[in-house]
Copies of this chain bind each other. A is one copy, B any other.
Amino acid sequence: MSNTAAIVGGGVIGGGWAARFLLNGWNVKVFDPDPESERKMGEVLANARIGLPMLYDCALPDEGRLTRHKSISDAVRESAWVQESVTERLELKHKVISEIQAENPNVAIGSSTSGFKPSELQDNAVNPGRILVAHPFNPVYLLPLVELVPSRSTSDHAIETAKRILSSIGLSPLLVRREIDAHIADRFLEAVWREALWLVKDGIATTREIDDAIRYGFGIRWAQMGLFETYRVAGGEMGMRHFMSQFGPALKWPWTKLMDVPELTDELVNMIAEQSDRQSGHVSIRELERKRDRNLIAIMRALKQQGTAAGRLVKEHQKRMRPQLASAKPIISTRRTIPCDWTDINGHMNEGRYGQIFSDAAEEIMAFIGADDDYIAAGMSYFTVETTIRYINETHAGEMVEVHTLVTQGEGKKLRCFHELKRMENNDLLATCDQMMLHVSLTTRRTCTPADHVREKVEELAALHAEDIS
């Protein structure tokens, strides 16, 4: 049986939550009386269906079922999690929480609020212990950070439930030690936003120049190490104390206007809006969203390949979703979506990526026959010595594909596979690969005989797949 989450408030943030739950196999029940909500959520969901599957090198679980409900009590009934993302008005949040707890007093409630502390949300609640802040970042279906802020009244059980459920849908809960206005990340965003407004107002830089100052410099640094580790590296062998003693004094210099807030006059708002139009006005918001998502996916996939930062989180989530292969004829060795970083100048999947899909398929087969990560760590593996790939049909980013694999030879050091890459939508054959691998010692880098359990499994598959090969 699938789990069910209730989404109360279905705008861009609520829609992002709904998408993340649905695409991770949860059923989602939505309450939002706004007549525009269905359309808005639909657009977020459309982006998420394109984007999220591209993060992973295996298929996501079957999508859950989305239903819309006319009352909060209908939506939250029998839900294992409620995510509240209504407008930032405290009395509205209180009303919503009281309706949720009237129906389902023990369900854990996460609030997407950036403006309120959990203790404020808990005021007068029937069951304050089940309420905490779960503050996500847009786009919620891609970015892994969620700030989890309990108050002193939030129960440990609710905190543990939140951690478990949110981790299971690929988020990385950051438990904030003490409640504080704006939690953690938004304090930085607020600081940067204030400074940026002054720079524009004072004519030092335009919106585009400020964006460039961020994305060509410290923005790239922060995508991977954050602030302190970046400075630790900058401090060099002398360490963090040295860094602070060197740069600490500058803190006192009058570098900043932060202590002051610029008045948001019509003039300043117009100036920023006009600069922003010049910068990005030629691209629609929809296109900008898709571009943003492709960029985020490409960055997170790059970090995944390095096994670090947000990419490490994606990798761990992927590991939990990786399917077990079954002894069949053929074996379904891969099922995945073609990601947006695999296309080439012709607009279709680069020819090297066919090789990578077949190589990944072979890795799954290796794991299945016992030549898995532990086996490789212990010093043996299979190396590919020759592949012949026939390119039959084009494939494009976003398409779901499967690889069907037969073991066509399995004796001694030899493992030969024949792979067929198919588009799942219409079963079109996209490419085939005849792949010869040899078993090697990773110490000598020369061929050697596999361990018995591996050799036996290879022979068993070769025998199974040899029968009646057409």
Instruction: List residues of chain A with CB under 8 Å of any chain B CB.
Output: 12, 115, 137-138, 143-145, 147, 172, 174, 176-178, 180-182, 184-197, 199, 202-205, 207-230, 232-237, 239-241, 244-245, 248, 250-256, 258-259, 261, 264, 269-270, 272-273, 275-277, 279-280, 285, 288-289, 291-292, 294-296, 298-303, 305-306, 308-310, 313, 340-341, 344-346, 350-359, 363, 373, 376, 381, 383-391, 394, 442, 445
Provide a sorted-by-A list of 28 A–B residue pairs whose CB atoms are within 8 angstroms. A137-B221, A144-B216, A176-B204, A178-B203, A180-B202, A184-B205, A184-B210, A190-B256, A192-B192, A194-B256, A194-B258, A197-B251, A211-B228, A213-B226, A214-B227, A219-B226, A221-B296, A223-B223, A224-B299, A228-B272, A229-B276, A229-B288, A295-B303, A354-B355, A355-B356, A355-B389, A383-B394, A389-B389
Tell me if B350 and A279 are in contact (CB < 8 A).
no
Q: Which of B190, B240, B346, B391 contacts A251 (CB 8 A)?
A: B190
Chain B residues positioned under 8 Å from A305 (CB to CB): 298, 341
- Residue of A233, A270, A273 contacting most chain B CB atoms (<10 Å): A233
Inter-chain CA distance A91–B279, complex, in Å, is 41
Tell me if A216 and B143 are in contact (CB < 8 A).
yes
Chain B residues positioned under 8 Å from A228 (CB to CB): 196, 207-208, 210-211, 272, 275-276, 279
Tell me if A390 and B383 are in contact (CB < 8 A).
no
Tell me if A387 and B388 are in contact (CB < 8 A).
yes
Tell me if A204 and B185 are in contact (CB < 8 A).
no
Inter-chain CA distance A303–B187, complex, in Å, is 28
Chain B residues positioned under 8 Å from A251 (CB to CB): 190, 193-194, 197, 261, 264
Tell me if A224 and B176 are in contact (CB < 8 A).
no
- Residue of A199, A232, A384 contacting most chain B CB atoms (<10 Å): A232
Tell me if B295 and A216 are in contact (CB < 8 A).
no
Q: Which of B196, B254, B259, B301 contacts A227 (CB 8 A)?
A: B196
Shortest C-beta distance, A468 to chain B (Å), equals 27
Tell me if A384 and B254 are in contact (CB < 8 A).
no
Tell me if B195 and A187 are in contact (CB < 8 A).
yes
Instruction: Say yes or no: A222-B224 contact (C-beta < 8 A), given A269-B241, A295-B309, A310-B215.
Output: no
Shortest C-beta distance, A268 to chain B (Å), equals 9
Residue of B nearest to A138 (CB): B234
Tell me if B288 and A295 are in contact (CB < 8 A).
no
Tell me if B273 and A291 are in contact (CB < 8 A).
no
Inter-chain CA distance A143–B221, complex, in Å, is 9
Tell me if B226 and A212 are in contact (CB < 8 A).
yes
Tell me if B195 and A188 are in contact (CB < 8 A).
yes
Chain B residues positioned under 8 Å from A203 (CB to CB): 177-178
Q: Which of B223, B236, B239 contacts A273 (CB 8 A)?
A: B239
Tell me if B373 and A115 are in contact (CB < 8 A).
no
Inter-chain CA distance A276–B239, complex, in Å, is 9
Shortest C-beta distance, A434 to chain B (Å), equals 9
Q: Which of B12, B181, B219, B273 contacts A255 (CB 8 A)?
A: B181
Residue of B nearest to A295 (CB): B224
Chain B residues positioned under 8 Å from A442 (CB to CB): 346
Tell me if A388 and B391 are in contact (CB < 8 A).
no
Tell me if A189 and B218 are in contact (CB < 8 A).
yes
Chain B residues positioned under 8 Å from A197 (CB to CB): 251
Shortest C-beta distance, A378 to chain B (Å), equals 13
Tell me if B177 and A205 are in contact (CB < 8 A).
yes
Tell me if B277 and A240 are in contact (CB < 8 A).
yes
Instruction: Say yes or no: A214-B192 contact (C-beta < 8 A), given A256-B187, A391-B384.
Output: no
Residue of B nearest to A187 (CB): B195
Shortest C-beta distance, A13 to chain B (Å), equals 10
Instruction: Say yes or no: A299-B291 contact (C-beta < 8 A), given A181-B254, A240-B276, A269-B244.
Output: no
Q: Which of B176, B213, B236 contacts A205 (CB 8 A)?
A: B176
Known: A188-B192, A196-B228. 20 other contacts (CB 8 A): A12-B234, A180-B202, A188-B191, A210-B228, A211-B227, A211-B228, A211-B229, A215-B225, A220-B299, A228-B279, A229-B280, A240-B272, A256-B258, A291-B306, A305-B341, A346-B383, A352-B352, A352-B357, A385-B391, A386-B389
